[in-house]
Amino acid sequence: MDRINRLRLLLDHDESLLHLNAGLRKQGVHERETPHDASNAPQEARNTSQYPSDPSRDPSTQDQEAYEQVHQLTPLDPIAVHDGSFCPVVAVSRFPYKFVKDQLSQTVASQFFDRGQFWSRSWDLQVRQFLQEINHALECRLSLPTESKKGILLPFGERNWWPQPIFLGKCTSLDTKERLLAEIPPASNQDQFPTDQDKDYLAWEQALEAAVDATKNSKKSTKAKQQQRAMHHQSLVQCLERTQRYLGLQPHEEAESERTWEAAAEHEAAAADWEVTRPMMYGFWKQPLLVSIDVECNERCHKQVTEVGISTLDLSLLVDQAPGPLGKVWTAQIASRHLRVREYGHIVNRDFVAGCPANFEFGTSEWVSERDLGAVVQASWENAGAVVLVGHNPGADLAYLRQLGVAVEVQTEAMTGIVDVVDTAETYRMLRGEATVRSLGGILGELGLTGWHLHNAGNDARYALEAMMGMFFNNSST
């Protein structure tokens, strides 16, 4: 005899008690209480009792399927151990408004989200546990949408994605959340991905884009996104053209405007026969000092810069010199430095990258105090004319330099100071016509160059500059 029949036997003399909901049957939050003989009700009524009481809803429509995707009507599962998946907290704060339908949306919002309730929780708990709490209180079946395009569930552990989320602090209020946001360090350098993981990196990037979209009140229009991509692509093309002029591979605009059509045609024909064993056909536009920068920091505390690598190549000294295959004649004249911060000399990254600060391959490392680091870096190009900064995904590196007080503002129209920034990852992608960027090690491998002890800032700065030369002079002729 099961529990329900035993209760019927015990309460047989008071039939009205049998009509009360004793919590033995799980019901939807909007399911009305029915007598114990509800099994005699029409089949259609039983099927629709799981959904909000909306007379316009037809359970046979696609709308029902969409409802079931969010309200997975399966028995409640015990809370699983953390599997390495994460949720954007702002997206979770909008869960009832974006992922729950009909009246249930307002019910969930009123009892668990509105009036600051969501942000007043201590977010040591898993999001799944939070949903279990809602399900238990409201007798519903909410779960996290697992589709990657929803952007609310990011399977870092399952996909072994990198960079991984980093603990910033416990969130107990909206004010705490805003403070933690303000303390987010600059983005980690993205040059840690080997060539064979480019697809994984693309999936990681798309998942984060979806996560960002999930935190927004409304998505950008497709047209606006297309325009943004087009503008970004155009800026990359323009940077590639400028880089070719810096290296003497293309005539700069001033020289081009002064030549006659006949002279230009003759020069173009001669350029078609040019080989890397000859001096450049065109002059170096602005004759810049190429300065390659790489910054390494404590992977557990990004405010602690541990290493800075600096490699320089003065193009004004190479006017009559042929670059040679892979530009090796030029790269032999690169001057490289490796600065280590004395206060953080004991730190070696091991969790996300294999740090090797003691393995500088191009000289002797220099110890610098944290207080003097910015000034030492700035002095590397302070007395130069035009400066072109080079880096592999240099966005994070430039952010770290600004953090150190280094002036890295770019003025592309100027003839002195920092006139440009060349991203070797994007440059190689553009030259090869590829969809995704490659890691520094991957590019070196493709060019037939060997990179020893990557993730040492001094080595990475040197190899980024060598890779830049190699990608432009990787054939016997151009």
Residue 318 lies in a domain: yes
Token pair of 477, please? Answer: 């002729």
Residue 281, Cβ neighbours under 10 Å: how many?
A: 17
Residues 93 and 242 in one domain: no
With 60 as the cut, is the pLDDT of residue 26 above it?
no
Residues 245 and 149 in one domain: no
pLDDT value of residue 199: 64
**Mean pLDDT for all residues in the chain:** 76
**CATH code of the domain in which 280 resides:** 3.30.420.10
Residues 324 and 454 in one domain: yes
pLDDT value of residue 230: 85
Which of the listed ranges 70-84, 173-187, 215-229, 336-350 does the model predict with the highest average pLDDT?
336-350
Evaluated on CA atoms 371, 375, 376, 377, the torsion sign reads: positive
What is the rounded radius of gyration, in angstroms, for the C-alpha atoms of the chain?
31
Residues 244 and 370 in one domain: yes
Better pLDDT: 413 or 52:
413
| Token pair 């403070």 in the structure block, residue | 179
Residues 281 and 427 in one domain: yes
The HSE-up count of residue 336 (CA atoms within 13 Å, CB side) is 24
Residue 112 DSSP class: I
Residues 158 and 244 in one domain: no
With 60 as the cut, is the pLDDT of residue 221 above it?
no
Rounded average pLDDT over 156-185: 70
Residue 41's Cα: distance from chain center in Å? 54
Per-residue model confidence as pLDDT tens digits over 223-274 = 666 787 788 889 999 999 999 999 999 988 655 555 566 666 666 666 677 8
Residue 295 lies in a domain: yes
Angle, CA 161 vertex, CA 156 and CA 167 arms, to 5°: 60
List Cβ neighbours of 261 (8 Å cut-off, separation of 6 or more). none
Residues 308 and 426 in one domain: yes
pLDDT value of residue 25: 43
Residue 179 lies in a domain: no
Contact 327, 277 (CB under 8 A): no
pLDDT value of residue 2: 53
Question: Of 303, 300, 276, whose CA–CA distance to 349 is shortest?
Answer: 300
Strand (E) or helix (H) holding 266: helix 261-272
Contact 471, 431 (CB under 8 A): yes
Residues 154 and 301 in one domain: no
Residues 239 and 359 in one domain: yes
With 90 as the cut, is the pLDDT of residue 185 above it?
no
Number of domains composing the chain: 2
Residue 267 lies in a domain: no
Least reliable range by pLDDT among 22-26, 64-68, 202-206, 444-448: 64-68
pLDDT band per the 50, 70, 90 thresholds, residue 135: confident
Residues 366 and 466 in one domain: yes
CA distances, 76 to each of 71, 82, 228 (Å): 12, 17, 44
Residue 128 lies in a domain: yes
Residue 396 lies in a domain: yes
With 50 as the cut, is the pLDDT of residue 19 above it?
no
Rounded Cα distance between 456 and 354, Å, is 9
With 60 as the cut, is the pLDDT of residue 75 above it?
no
Domain boundary among the residues 133, 164, 195 is at 164
| Token pair 């303390």 in the structure block, residue | 183
Question: Of 247, 234, 242, whose CA–CA distance to 468 is shortest?
Answer: 247
Residue 406 DSSP class: -
Largest CA distance in the chain: 112
Rounded average pLDDT over 34-48: 34
Residue 90, Cβ neighbours under 10 Å: how many?
A: 14
Question: Of 442, 287, 305, whose CA–CA distance to 376 is shortest?
Answer: 305
Domain boundary among the residues 146, 164, 182 is at 164
Residues 302 and 158 in one domain: no
Residues 305 and 418 in one domain: yes
Per-residue model confidence as pLDDT tens digits over 268-278 = 666 677 899 99
Domain boundary among the residues 111, 142, 164 is at 164
Q: How many residues does the chain have?
A: 478
pTM: 0.57
Report the side by side order of strands in the sheet with 301-314.
Answer: 366-368, 335-341, 301-314, 289-298, 386-391, 417-423
Give the structural domain span for 452.
Answer: 235-254+273-473
Question: Of 224, 153, 170, 212, whose CA–CA distance to 187 is shortest?
Answer: 212
Better pLDDT: 452 or 121:
452
Residue 277 lies in a domain: yes
Rounded Cα distance between 271 and 280, Å, is 9
Residue 115 lies in a domain: yes
pLDDT value of residue 360: 98
